[in-house]
Amino acid sequence: MRRVTLSACIAALTLGLTAGVIQAASVLLESLNGRQVFPVTNWWNLDISAAPVAPQSAAMINWISGRTGGNTTATRTMHPDFGPPPYGIPYVVVDGTQPRVPVTWVAYGNQSDSGIPGLPGYPIPDEARTQPNYIEGAVAGGGTSDDRHLLLIDRDRWVLYETYATRWNATQSRWEAQSGAIFNLNTNDRRPEGWTSADAAGLAIFPGLIRYDEVNGPSEITHAIRVTTRATNGYVWPASHTAGSTSGAPPMGTRLRLKAGRDISGFPAQMQKIFRAMKKYGLIVADNGTDMYVTGTMDPRWNNSVLNPAFHALTADDFEVIELGWGQLSFPDPPLHVRIIG
């Protein structure tokens, strides 16, 4: 199948006419050119470099490293859970005229968003159905395995749409997903307590991705980064949803911070930029998966020979857990909430 190139998408936006009908442009991995994703006050964008270390930090790092049951030497290396297709999560940017289509929820329908006021549906371009690399996993139409996240940004309204376990059901001629969430990127709106999103923690996915355009751009990365652990135990702010109750595991929403004293001067410049963000903004545990797997975009421009050795040089012991729920006092409504099971 032919993949729509960036230049072709830009040409479609510029010309916009096919058989006399204006076509809405969709651009895979369009650069945001430094545009602010959520307000600078949002939890994804909080500077945590001076936040206090959690009393549970050492115990949680030991758990992440697998130092349980008498094992005192285990450790976990960090891994970039992204790269060229099929690794990582892609995103698609559309304009405000992109037609909205309904999504049928096969699970979590009572916690999923059906659209924005006055505009129901999700702006899913036809390419997501017919071409690979628009949905996580790089299968046209999503397929039937793995997480199959679909991330869509309406650049005109500055609204983020995300779905989980996404697939095109050809038999029923409809899009299906287990859950979906919509975020106004101009606000600090948070999911209701107990609600999921397209991510297990109830958080937005896109703002936590490492993106090629920001790593190779002129500015610093100014947001926290999404990370997974093999299990979790309840949730803490800014998360809103739990997906497990494993004793000793970190809760969803836990923030890890690369220790200030960890020397990163020997890494390539792009990797230093990523690791500086880990020191200043940290990592947020957002899903169950593999310990210390860090999420970024699925992008053919990534070079695994640079990513893998740099990430593998860091271990869980290079990180510390900051105070659980830190920063919530800047958001007085709702009140401070910590829910850990067991």
Please report the DSSP string for 293-312 in residue order.
EEEEEE-TT--HHHHHHHHH
Q: How many domains does the chain have?
A: 2
**Which one, of 93, 65, 38, lies nearest residue 281 by Cα?**
38
Q: Name the domain boundary from 154, 176, 199.
A: 199
pLDDT (tens digit, 0 to 9) for every residue of the chain, 342 residues total? 333 333 333 333 333 333 334 444 899 999 999 999 999 999 999 999 999 999 999 999 999 999 988 888 889 999 999 999 999 999 999 999 999 999 999 999 999 999 999 999 999 999 999 999 999 999 999 999 999 999 999 999 999 999 999 999 999 999 999 999 999 999 999 999 999 999 999 999 999 999 999 999 999 999 999 999 999 999 999 999 999 999 999 999 999 999 999 999 999 999 999 999 999 999 999 999 999 999 999 999 999 999 999 999 999 999 999 999 999 988 865 444 444 444
Whole domain around residue 278: which residue ranges? Answer: 37-88+205-342
pLDDT at residue 23, as a whole number: 43
Residues 10 and 139 in one domain: yes
Residues 191 and 226 in one domain: no
Strand 225-229 with 283-288, pairing: parallel
Residues 6 and 138 in one domain: yes
Give the C-alpha separation, 342 to 327, whole Å: 24
Residues 274 and 242 in one domain: yes
Residues 274 and 340 in one domain: yes
Residues 192 and 336 in one domain: no
Residue 331 phi, psi dihedral angles, 5° rounding:
-125, 80
Residues 277 and 322 in one domain: yes
Q: Name the domain boundary from 199, 219, 240.
A: 199
Residue 320 phi, psi dihedral angles, 5° rounding:
-135, 155
pLDDT at residue 329, as a whole number: 87
* Vertex 60: Cα angle to 56 and 62 (nearest 5): 125
**Which one, of 128, 127, 126, lies nearest residue 150 by Cα?**
128
**Which one, of 126, 160, 130, 328, lies nearest residue 237 by Cα?**
328
Residues 48 and 137 in one domain: no
Instruction: Tell me, rounded to whole angstroms, the distance of Cα 49 from its chain centroid.
Output: 21
In order of 66, 142, 146, 191, 200, the CA distances from 165 in angstroms are: 29, 8, 7, 19, 12
Residues 248 and 281 in one domain: yes
Give the C-alpha separation, 278 to 7, whole Å: 33
Residues 157 and 187 in one domain: yes
Residues 190 and 278 in one domain: no
pLDDT at residue 190, as a whole number: 96
Q: Is 135 left (phi over 0), alpha (psi -120 to 50) or beta?
A: beta
Residues 94 and 84 in one domain: no
Residue 163 phi, psi dihedral angles, 5° rounding:
-130, 155
Q: Name the domain boundary from 176, 199, 222.
A: 199
Neighbours of 188 (CB within 10 A): 16
